[in-house]
Structures are given as C-alpha cells and as structure tokens.
Homo-oligomer: A and B are copies of this chain.
Amino acid sequence: MAASPSTPLTVLPSALLPMVSVVETERADAARNRRRLLEAAQELVAEVGANQVTMEAVAAAAQVGKGTVFRRFGDRVGLMVALLDLNERTNQEAFMFGPPPLGPGAPPRERLVAFGEQRMAFAAEHKDVLLAAEACGSRRYEHPARAVLVLHVSALLREAGVEGDVELLTETLLGYLDVALLAHLRETRDLPAERLSAGWADLVRRVLPA
C-alpha cells in the first residue's frame, strides 16, 4: 500500500475547495516542484499520449528526482488525477453553478440529461487521461472527482422526487457514464454517439417518475 501522498490541494474534490481557506501549508520548494511536475506531465501527455508517459520521464523533464514524483502524487494514478483536476473543475463548475439546463434553474430531469451529455463529451475528449487516471479494482470508485458526481446526481434524483434507493440509482446512472464502458461501446462495438445519447435520455426517463 502506498503511503498517503501529501497532496492537500487535490485530496478534496476540487469544486468544493474554494470553500476551504487553506488546507495546509506547503514548503516553498515543494510547491515549486509540484508546479514543475504538473507542467512537465501535461506537456509529455500532449506529446506522446497519457499511457506512454513514464514516471521517470516526468521526473526527468521536471528536473526532479523520481522519489519526489511519488512523494507528491502517491502513484501514477494520483498524478493523472491531479492532471485532470483543472478540466474537471471547469466541468464541475458548469453543472454546479453554470447556466441551465446543465446548471441550476432547469428541472432536474433536464439537468440530468444535460449532465450525461456533458460527461459523454468529456469522456470522448479526454479518454486516455481519464482512463490513465482510473485505478483498477474497487479502488476505482474511490476517485475523489467521482464523489462530486455522486453527490450531484443523487441531489438531482432527490430533487426530482424519485422514489426508491437514491444511492443505488445514482450508481446505476453513473455506471452508464463509465469512461471505460463508453470507450468500449464507441470504439470496439462501434455505436455512434447519438445512440449513446439517446440511451442516456431513455435511461433517465426510466429511472425518474413521469
């Protein structure tokens, strides 16, 4: 088991962070190295693709020791999660505070449909980083960004007055939006995006009360 990394800025779902003042102080050199590492990682990912990027290469590109990478981000997955953080934050703000139908203001069903569309687009665009940021096994479900999604979907379900086990229905809905599943359906099974969208709308219709 990896020692828990000292990554205070990404431990909590990023959209919730503005509410917290300062979680922890970080030494100047540590902060500088984190910045350099993230920059280097981003560049390398853009250059050769997420799953071709080795931890050693990131360390070298940031002119930092390998141990530092692991100290900062815990493991490979942690690094990828941190990389996604910025994009995820934009997404999160869109569905939490942005304009309808994604953001507040629209009825929950429309918001859910729009949420699914957004996730599917996001999954298509950042497929490789998202997959690289996904741990294996059940640890996959402990992804910090996922917690935000769970919160959001279950809130919408409750708001829509759905009867039944909201927690489990949330998992079912999010299951449909699983990055790996979507990638499989699109690429291996060759289902067009429109069909996946229609499937999502249909699923929402079946779960929510008329």
Interface residues of A (CB under 8 A from B): 131, 134, 136-138, 140-142, 164-165, 167-169, 171-172, 175-176, 178, 180-181, 183-185, 187-189, 191, 195-196, 198-199, 202-203, 206-207
* Nearest chain B residue, comparing its CB with the CB of A142: B188
B residues near A175, Cβ cutoff 8 Å: 172, 175-176, 178, 181
How far does the Cβ of A167 sit from chain B's closest Cβ, in whole Å? Answer: 8
B residues near A202, Cβ cutoff 8 Å: 164-165, 168
The dominant DSSP class at the A interface is helix
How far does the Cβ of A84 sit from chain B's closest Cβ, in whole Å? Answer: 15
B residues near A196, Cβ cutoff 8 Å: 168
- Known contacts A165-B198, A171-B181, A202-B165; is-contact A136 B138 (Cβ 8 Å): no
CA distance A185 to B206 in the complex (A): 23
B residues near A134, Cβ cutoff 8 Å: 136-137
- The answer to whether A165 touches B199, judged by C-beta atoms less than 8 angstroms apart, is yes
B residues near A165, Cβ cutoff 8 Å: 195, 198-199, 202
> Which of B137, B180, B199, B207 is A131 in contact with, Cβ under 8 Å?
B137
